[in-house]
C-alpha cells in the first residue's frame, strides 16, 4: 500500500468516527427536544401528549438506550481502528505529503481516532468492575446490601443483578421474575433511612418484595410517591404479576439516570418481556410540585 493510499484510508476512518459521533449527538438532542415538546403540549392544555408524542418519545428512548449500551463497544472498535492505523503507518514508513492525496490530511496520532464518544462511553473509562455475590437472607451480607460497592456488578440471591457507578448508585438492574411470594419480608428500616428522598417520595423497590426482591437499599431508590411508585411503576408490577399468574416468566431490565451526585434518579427506563409482548416504558421521576 502506498503512502497516498494510507492517507486516504486514515481519512476515511476519521470521517466515519466523526459521523457516528454527530449522529449520536443529534439523536440525544432530538430526544431532549421531543420531551420538551410533550411538556409544552401538556402545559397549554392541548391534546393528550401521551397520544400525540408518546410513541415518538418511546422510540427515541430506545435509540438513546441502545447508544448508551453500545458506547463501550464503539469505543473498543475505535481503539482497534487506531491500532490498525498505527500498524498501517508503521508498515508504510510514514504518511505522504499533502500533495500526494489531493490535500487530504489524515490524523497524525492514534488519539485523534479515539476521541471520547460523549456520555455513553463513561463506563469505558471506569476502573475495572468487581463481581460480588450476596444473599439477602445472610445477616453478614446486609451491610453490603445497604451500602453497595462502587463500580461493581452485584448478584443477589443468584437471580437479581445490579450494576453500580463510581458512587455506588445502581445504574442498571436486571432479573427474570418467576415467582410470587406475598409473605416475602421488607425492611422498613431500609425504607425509612433511604437517603436523598424529597418530600412526597417513597422508598421504591426496583423489584417488588412480592417477586422476592431484596429489601435492602441496593434494591431501593427514591421515587415520587403518587405518580411513580404508586402509579406508573405499580402498573408495571401489576402487569408482571398477571403474567406470572398465567405461568409466564418475565424478563425485566431497569436503567436509572442521575443528575448530579444525588442518589435520587431523575428518570427510570424499564424494558420487559412477558412472553407475549416486549415493552419499554420511560418514567420521569419528577418530585411532587415540579423539579427542585
Q: Could you tell me if 190 and 138 lie in one domain?
A: yes
Boundary-marking domain end, from 42, 74, 98: 98
Q: Could you tell me if 162 and 270 lie in one domain?
A: yes
Return the CATH number at 258: 3.40.570.10
Is position 58 within any domain? yes
CA distance 136 to 224: 25
Q: Could you tell me if 137 and 15 lie in one domain?
A: no
CA distance 255 to 174: 9
Is position 183 within any domain? yes
Tens digit of pLDDT for each residue in 100-124? 333 333 333 333 333 333 333 334 4
Tally of structural domains, the chain: 2
Tens digit of pLDDT for each residue in 222-265? 999 999 999 999 999 999 999 999 999 999 999 999 999 999 99
Q: Could you tell me if 189 and 91 lie in one domain?
A: no
Boundary-marking domain end, from 55, 75, 98: 98
Domain that holds residue 173: 130-284
List per-residue pLDDT tens for the chain, 292 residues long: 666 667 777 777 777 777 776 776 677 777 666 766 766 665 565 545 555 566 676 666 666 656 655 555 555 566 667 667 666 666 655 443 333 333 333 333 333 333 333 333 334 444 578 999 999 999 999 999 999 999 999 999 999 999 999 999 999 999 999 999 999 988 999 999 999 999 999 999 999 999 999 999 999 999 999 999 999 999 999 999 999 999 999 999 999 999 999 999 999 999 999 999 999 999 999 998 665 4
Q: Could you tell me if 65 and 162 lie in one domain?
A: no
Amino acid at each position: 500500500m502506498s503512502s497516498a493510499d494510507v492517507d486516504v484510508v486514515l481519512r476515511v476512518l476519521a470521517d466515519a468516527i466523526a459521523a457516528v459521533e454527530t449522529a449520536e449527538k443529534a439523536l440525544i438532542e432530538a430526544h431532549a427536544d421531543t420531551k420538551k415538546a410533550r411538556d409544552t403540549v401538556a402545559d397549554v392544555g392541548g391534546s393528550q401528549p401521551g397520544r400525540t408524542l408518546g410513541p415518538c418519545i418511546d422510540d427515541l428512548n430506545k435509540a438513546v438506550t441502545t447508544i448508551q449500551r453500545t458506547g463501550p463497544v464503539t469505543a473498543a472498535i475505535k481503539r482497534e481502528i487506531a491500532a490498525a492505523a498505527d500498524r498501517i503507518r508503521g508498515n508504510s514508513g510514514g504518511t505522504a505529503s499533502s500533495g500526494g492525496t489531493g490535500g487530504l490530511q489524515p490524523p497524525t496520532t492514534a488519539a485523534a481516532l479515539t476521541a471520547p464518544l460523549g456520555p455513553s462511553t463513561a463506563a469505558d473509562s471506569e476502573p475495572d468492575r468487581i463481581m460480588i455475590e450476596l444473599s439477602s437472607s445472610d445477616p453478614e451480607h446486609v451491610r453490603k446490601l445497604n451500602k453497595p460497592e462502587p463500580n461493581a456488578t452485584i448478584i443477589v440471591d443468584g437471580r437479581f443483578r445490579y450494576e453500580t457507578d463510581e458512587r455506588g448508585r445502581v445504574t442498571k438492574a436486571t432479573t427474570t421474575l418467576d415467582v410470587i411470594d406475598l409473605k416475602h419480608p421488607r425492611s422498613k428500616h431500609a425504607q425509612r433511612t433511604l437517603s436523598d428522598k424529597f418530600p412526597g417520595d417513597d422508598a421504591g423497590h426496583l423489584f417488588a418484595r412480592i417477586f422476592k426482591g431484596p429489601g435492602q437499599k441496593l434494591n431501593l431508590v427514591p421515587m415520587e410517591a403518587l405518580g411513580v411508585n404508586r402509579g406508573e411503576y405499580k402498573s408495571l408490577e401489576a402487569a408482571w404479576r398477571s403474567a406470572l399468574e398465567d405461568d409466564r416468566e418475565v424478563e425485566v431490565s431497569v436503567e436509572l439516570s442521575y443528575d448530579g451526585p444525588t442518589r435520587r434518579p431523575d428518570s427510570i427506563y424499564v424494558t420487559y418481556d412477558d412472553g407475549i409482548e416486549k415493552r419499554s416504558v420511560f418514567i420521569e421521576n419528577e418530585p411532587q410540585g415540579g423539579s427542585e
